[in-house]
Amino acid sequence: MAVDNDTALVLMQNRKRIYRQRVNKMSRYDIQQVCENGHKITGCYTKAPEDRAEFCKKCGAKTIIACPYCHKKIPGDELRGDWRGIWNPVNSLDVPCYCTSCGKPYPWTQKKIATAIQIFEEFGELDVKEKKTIKKDIENIAKDVPEAELSARRIKRIWDKYGLLAYEAIMEFASRTAAKILKGP
């Protein structure tokens, strides 16, 4: 049976529309490359291989694309397929603090926590009780755990002894809940 031109055109448009609807719903994540100090190298490790780097141009540290503990790839930019089947970046992700696969802090988060602990231990005049809890308190405020609130309040109480240096070191990794308490009245 012969199909006239108009019918053929409508059929083709329909097919294109259906394909577009299907493909628009598809999205996936690329891989992120980050240096060990937490500088983002690229969020499109797979899609844009030309952006990859073995070492960071900001600090010279080695770069990674996966969690050192469980080897799960670090999630990168969100990609969406267009009607031609080409994947385009639509949403750029920040450098994450923790691995969502095993829950361990990434190397840059570990370094920031270690630095903050060091600042408090070296520059503060902690009493015996504070010395006991400071490490755990700092680790807690990096995460959104129920204990973070108590830890943030404790840190806030001894805050004045440390000044700006400690404030900046802590705010680098404090979870949103903890940051709110630390900044609050």
Q: Name the site residues for Zn ion (rule: CB under 5 A).
A: 35, 37, 39, 56, 58-59, 61, 67, 69-70, 72, 99, 101-102
CB of 74 to Zn ion, least distance (A): 9
Collect contacts of 135-142 with beta carbons under 8 A, ≥24 apart: 138/113, 138/170, 139/113, 140/178, 141/170, 141/173, 141/174, 141/175, 141/178, 141/182, 142/97, 142/105, 142/109, 142/112, 142/113, 142/173, 142/174, 142/175, 142/178
Of 46 and 101, which has the nearer Cβ to Zn ion?
101
Tokens of 180: 């709110």
CB of 103 to Zn ion, least distance (A): 7
CB of 40 to Zn ion, least distance (A): 9
Of 149 and 172, which has the nearer Cβ to Zn ion?
172
Of 12 and 53, which has the nearer Cβ to Zn ion?
53
Nearest to 33 by CA among 78, 95, 121: 95
Of 82 and 144, which has the nearer Cβ to Zn ion?
144
CB of 105 to Zn ion, least distance (A): 10
CB of 106 to Zn ion, least distance (A): 8
Of 44 and 67, which has the nearer Cβ to Zn ion?
67
CB of 173 to Zn ion, least distance (A): 16
Q: How far is CA 140 from CA 133, 149, 150, in A?
A: 10, 9, 9
First to last CA, the chain: 80
Nearest to 141 by CA among 162, 115, 106, 172: 172
Of 61 and 171, which has the nearer Cβ to Zn ion?
61
Q: Is there a contact between 109 and 67 (Cβ–Cβ < 8 Å)?
A: no
